[in-house]
Amino acid sequence: MERPSSSSSSSSSSPNEEEDDLQNLLDESDSQIEAAEQRPPPTFDVETLRSRLRRSFFKLNLTKRQCIVIFLPLLLVLAYLSTDLTNYFSSVKVPDSVFRPNHGPAESDLRALYLLRKQETDLSSLWNRTLSVSDMKSALFRQMSLNRQIQNALLSPHKAESLGLYGGGSCRRVDQKLLKRKTIQWKPRRDKFLFAICLSGQMSNHLICLEKHMFFAALLKRTLVIPSHRFDYHYSRIIDIDRTNTCLGRKVVVSFEEFWKSRKKHHHVHIDRFICYFSKPEPCYVDKEHIAKLKALGITIGGKVDSPWEEEDIAKPSNKTAEEVERSFRSDDDVIAIGDVFYANVERDWVMQPGGPLAHKCKTLLEPNRLILLTAQRFIQTFLGRNYVALHLRRHGFLKFCNAKNPSCFYPIPQAAHCITRLVEKVDAPVIYLSTDAAESETGLLQSLLIINGKTVPFVKRPPRDSAEKWDALLYRHGLEGDSQVEAMLDKTICAMSSVFIGASGSTFTEDILRLRKDWGTASVCDEYLCQNEQPNFIADHE
């Protein structure tokens, strides 16, 4: 396009002074452009883009009134189309350190410059195109997304220092204040044992029960005996028992096999006293089948199964103090068994504090074994990266379970998608790790509804074993592949390492993940239960 001639300028309704100003600006812009073209192209030159836009604009030879007539409707259309994007345009407070000069170009600065160059190219292309309304909206989305990437690139070196962030956008980690922990020493008396009985629920229930048994064993000054896998779960596959002893600096936990060897001189293992924490609805959950399993292990039980509290009901567990437990379960017998303490409510604030109630030198006493921990780290490095949201979506059997509660905790998929999207936007995470027992019909619908800035946020699940992938090689080589409890603990570990965790209210699987996050120091201020503080927007009638 040629520069407007002096004759065309004279026909304009603008005053002569305005024409002279425009011409001076054009001449100045042309000289800058010619000088820039003789130099090697810079990464990005704001003035060059500005000059090009001014030059193209003035070639239109429009008066101020004509500009208003032409562009005001366009601005109104853009404002109308972007009314649902108000949150995107919220102000971003940039720390002063962003504007401090650097001694050299950081990687984030180079990325920002690359993105600005790309935005310059896109804007130049848009200027010379005639766009429909749909194309205009699509272009607007692309430019906003590009602008967000530029902001993130510029802010990334300063987030941890100036904004106190770690991954997860504005979702900083929780300060657990570990120095204020209240703890007791676990110093077992010689040859005094506590046999753990954990029978209610699934593996997560048993791990919580086992953790409470550790507290009981410390209060009663006894060594804790981990049950045999022929009576309970195969604990040695999923938790590191030896590490627990290392953390405490003494032998406080033994496997059933170790316990058996230490007692074999008696030709059998005898439980001198069997105590049930709860008397209702059924003592210890121990039935004839469990008694038969104990006898098959060569274990005999002395006396009857009793409870120190006649009216203690699992439906309404009363608050108990450490002193009450010591007094009620105190015994000089060599071997006692206590069951089932999963529902026990003893010194809750003390027991639930980060790191637990016992004095030790580790972050947590009950941790996934080393093979599972390394496998989780390898999976994260392969598929997820540092910043990801983990979602535990419990569905199987939860419809009836949740609807029996008030309020219900079972949400329609579209409502769940809205809640998840709201949090993921805050975290600014690229992927969601999904741990679920839901059917593909539900997860497929949920995935299709998770759209942010015009893009679907993908779910990542553990894939079936593939020999070409090496992230799970440790499990395969040690014969742990395909073990459902190992896989469950692997899921927990991956969730526990996420930037932000969304759990299922009422699920002990979720509660064990929250325990690990609390103890490991990975808990975020944004962690929450799915659709926390909301009720389902539709609830089915009872049968």
Residue 464 confidence (pLDDT): 86
Q: Which of 148-152, 220-224, 363-367 has the highest mean pLDDT?
A: 220-224
Mean pLDDT of all residues in 113-128? 76
Residue 441 confidence (pLDDT): 96
How high does pLDDT run on average in the chain?
A: 79
Residue 4 confidence (pLDDT): 41
Percent composition of the chain: helix, strand, coil (DSSP 3-state, to 5):
50, 10, 40
pLDDT over 70 at 479, yes or no: yes
pLDDT over 50 at 162, yes or no: no
Mean pLDDT of all residues in 425-454? 93
CA nearest to 127, candidates 55, 198, 214 = 55
What CA–CA distance (Å, rounded) separates 313 from 165?
45
Here the tokens at position 406 are: 């008030």
| Helices 107-127 + 46-59 axis angle, to 10 | 10
Residue 515 confidence (pLDDT): 94
Q: How confident is the model at residue 325 (pLDDT cuts 50, 70, 90)?
A: very high
Residue 263 confidence (pLDDT): 74
pLDDT over 80 at 126, yes or no: no
Residue 18 confidence (pLDDT): 46
Please state whether beta strands 319-320 and 345-346 pair in parallel, antiparallel, or not at all (unpaired).
parallel
Q: How confident is the model at residue 158 (pLDDT cuts 50, 70, 90)?
A: low
Task: Please tell me if the domain spanning 193-352 has the same topology as the one spanning 370-529.
Answer: yes
Residue 90 confidence (pLDDT): 37
What CA–CA distance (Å, rounded) separates 112 from 127?
22
Domain boundaries defined on the chain: 193-352, 370-529
Residue 68 confidence (pLDDT): 46
Residue 306 confidence (pLDDT): 79
Is the domain covering 193-352 a CATH 3.40.50 domain?
yes
Residue 542 confidence (pLDDT): 86
Residue 176 confidence (pLDDT): 72
Pick one of 3.30.1490.190, 3.40.50.11350, 3.30.1360.20, 2.60.40.2130 as the CATH number of 370-529: 3.40.50.11350
pLDDT tens across 51-93, in order? 554 555 445 454 544 444 444 455 444 544 444 433 433 333 3
DSSP 178: G
Share of the chain above pLDDT 90, in %: 42
Residue 157 confidence (pLDDT): 56
Instruction: List CB contacts of 316: < 8 A, sequence separation 6 or more.
Output: none
Mean pLDDT of all residues in 7-24? 45
Handedness of CA 293, 295, 299, 303 (dihedral sign): positive
Lowest mean pLDDT among 76-80, 103-107, 387-391, 451-455: 76-80
- Looking at 39-106, list the stretches that DSSP marks H as alpha helix, in order from N- to C-terminal side: 46-59, 64-81
pLDDT over 70 at 273, yes or no: yes
Write out the DSSP string of 382-411: III-SS-EEEEE--TTHHHHHHTSSS----
Lowest mean pLDDT among 275-284, 388-397, 442-451: 275-284
pLDDT over 50 at 185, yes or no: yes
Q: How confident is the model at residue 266 (pLDDT cuts 50, 70, 90)?
A: low
What CA–CA distance (Å, rounded) separates 369 from 236?
8
What CA–CA distance (Å, rounded) separates 49 from 356?
60
The better pLDDT of the pair 103, 265 is held by 265
Residue 208 confidence (pLDDT): 92
Burial call 335-365: b when 16+ CB within 10 Å, e when fewer: bbbbbbbbbbebbeebbebbbbbbbbeebbb
Residue 539 confidence (pLDDT): 92
Task: Provide the whole-model pTM.
Answer: 0.68
Residue 295 confidence (pLDDT): 83
What CA–CA distance (Å, rounded) separates 508 from 201?
9
pLDDT over 90 at 381, yes or no: yes
The better pLDDT of the pair 119, 224 is held by 224
pLDDT over 70 at 108, yes or no: no
Lowest mean pLDDT among 145-149, 249-253, 486-490: 145-149
pLDDT tens across 333-346, in order? 999 999 889 999 99
Which helix (H) or strand (E) covers residue 144, if one does?
A: helix 133-155
pLDDT tens across 24-40, in order? 544 554 555 455 445 44
